[in-house]
Amino acid sequence: MTVNELRIGNIVQIKNKQAREAACSLDVYVRGVSDNDMWGDTVLVQNACNENVYEALIKNIAPIELTEDVLLKCGFKSVSGDAMVHKINRHFRLEYALGEYVLRIKTDRHDSSYVRVVRSLHQLQNLYLAITGKELEVDLDSK
């Protein structure tokens, strides 16, 4: 992962042991990015549970893999086997194939689709924002 992939609001995980111990949650929100030639690229992150903000090196940040559980917490519905669907409106929907990491953007109007490989939550968040102009609602705390 590079800082160029991230934007403010993305949800990622801490993978550094010391940072994990200081955090109350592995999942953190990106609040800023910096490319620093001296120390290395850094990300300003905020804990989801106590709202503490701190800097972390990009090498200590990991993407959240898209799983059925994560997709369900993003509003996707399981339709059959490994297929998941998120309706944006009555003419536009996202279809995700779990085993293939393939996101299809479908529209009913012209029976067209766009296919993109998406493996992580921050990639899905970025694509959703680009398509809809809105943030993807994600509730990782829900059961």
Separation of alpha carbons 28 and 83, rounded Å: 27
Stretches where the chain sits below pLDDT 70 are: 16-25, 36-39, 108-113, 142-143
What is the structure's pLDDT at 112?
Answer: 65
pLDDT value for 16:
67
User: Would you state the pLDDT for residue 25?
Assistant: 60
Closest CA relative to residue 120, chosen from 70, 57, 58: 70
Whether the model clears a pTM of 0.85, i.e. scores above it, the answer is no
Give the burial string for 94-109 (b: 16+ CB within 10 Å, else e): bbbebeeeebebbeee
Token readout for 125 is 């968040």
